[in-house]
Amino acid sequence: MLGLLTLQQECVRAYRRYADTVAVLSAIYHLLKKEPRIADYVGIETKLRNSYGNDVRPDLVVMYEARTKGLVFEFKWSLPFSETLLEKEVREIKKYAVPCSQWKNSNGKVDYHDVVFVCHIEDAQRTLATLSRVAKETDYDFLASDGFAVWTWTISATRGGERREHLIITNAYGKIRNITIENMINQPPGLILPEEVLTYLRSSFTFTREKPPVQYIMIALIQHVFSQFQDPTRGRAVYEITTDMIREKAKIFFPAWHEFDVQTVQLKRRWITEALQTMFALNMIGKPVGKPDSWLIPIPTLKTREPIQSAICKKLSKRQLKITKRPARRGRPRTKTIRLKAHPKMKRINDYF
């Protein structure tokens, strides 16, 4: 069983990893949007229909060569350590790789489209091993052919401040058929993104399409959403807020919120509800009696002198350990026997008589 500190570190690591993945999405979004010579930006989470008749929403969709070819990006903030689960994730890519319709051009079709799978450099090695194995299967041979690539990202470290940090995207596997992008990504040390992506462009989005870890949603709610309900004249106060009010304020943090269908709205609402329920379980917020969809939220919700992600991860880890360790209770609860001990300076009661 993992210790408290390890759990806490894992929790903070997941928070940071998701935040960085959002930054990478923002970076590629801005790069493609500002450079139409590379490709036409279509959208984030744009709906396509694949040949199985299912609607798919890749993280980012672009088109090029007069919108006759397509390119879709799938971002993964974290990939499972379990081989079975990782294999499942790899097999999921197929839904984007098969021919799709409803492209944003006159006939809704493209000659072909490529798929780019973007993950953190730490996950790349495991992913590539699984991918090579799956690619041997006939149904998944697209993984070994042109039109599929795995990109990884990293923030370059500096030594003694002699050069600045950069967000670098490198090609770890495969090849796409857009020559311009392929040349950019294959030049050493990789595609160096402009400095702004590490500074202000990070704040463009807060979420990707993939579900964030619960601590990430909690922090986003505390810092960016609950604070919007705050009445500065009241100081710290408890506000009764419904889940829908929270969702309404939170929706602009999702990149493609204005294109959401009912199903996606419900999905995002579930993320928020899960975070609220976790906060309730951690006694950070309350619930009014008889109002199942309302919450009693103190704003500011968490005042701490340590980084908020550490404070929340500490609470979450403690709770997780408590749940894991809690033994099944049977029968009457045990009571501690109180034994009184006389202090050496105390007198015996008989001395008074």
Partner 1 sequence: MENIGFSFVDRTSMRLFYDKLYTTRGRRPPLKALILLTDLKVEDLPMVLSRRGKLSKVYYANVTALEEGLYRVSLQKSIGLRDVKREVIIDAGYKGAWIVLTNAESYFITHVLERFFEKLYPMVSRLYLNYSQLRLLLKIIKEAYRGKTTPTFFTIKREKRKPVEHRIFPAKKGTEILWDEDVDEEIQRLLSDDFMVMVDRLDFEVRDENNAMLLQAHITRKGLCKLKFGSFSAFYQNVVLRAIEYGIDRKDFYDKRERSIEKGTIQLHPLQIKYPFSFRNEQLNHFARKITNAYSCSIIHGGNPYFVANLCDYEDGSSFGVAVLGNIITLTPVTRATPQAVWRLVNKIQEILGDGEITDVQMR
Using the rule CB under 8 A, which residue among 80, 286, 298, 300 binds partner 1?
300
User: Cβ 21 to partner 1, closest distance in Å?
Assistant: 11
19 binds partner 1 (CB under 8 A): yes
Q: Which of 66, 82, 161, 335 binds partner 1 (CB under 8 A)?
A: 161
Nearer to partner 1, 36 or 99 (CB): 36
Any contact of residue 219 with partner 1 (CB under 8 A)?
yes
58 or 255: CB nearest partner 1: 255
Nearer to partner 1, 258 or 326 (CB): 258
CB of 309 to partner 1, least distance (A): 5
Considering only residues 32 through 71, tell me which ones interact with partner 1, judged by CB under 8 A: 34
Comparison of 57 and 113: residue with beta carbon closer to partner 1: 57
Q: Is 307 in the site for partner 1 (CB under 8 A)?
A: yes
Q: How far is the CB of 297 from partner 1 (least distance, A)?
A: 12
Please list every residue from 250 through 279 that binds partner 1, using CB under 8 A: 252, 258
Residue 216 CB, nearest distance to partner 1 (Å)? 9
Task: Verify binding: residue 243, partner 1, rule CB under 8 A.
Answer: no
With respect to partner 1, which residue has the nearer C-beta, 133 or 249? 249
Four-point Cα dihedral 59, 223, 283, 297, nearest 10? -110
Q: How far is the CB of 204 from partner 1 (least distance, A)?
A: 5
Q: Does 155 contact partner 1 by CB under 8 A?
A: yes
Which residues of the chain form contacts with partner 1 (CB under 8 A)? 15-16, 19-20, 34, 155, 157-158, 161, 164-165, 195-196, 198-205, 219, 222-225, 227-230, 232-235, 252, 258, 299-300, 302-309
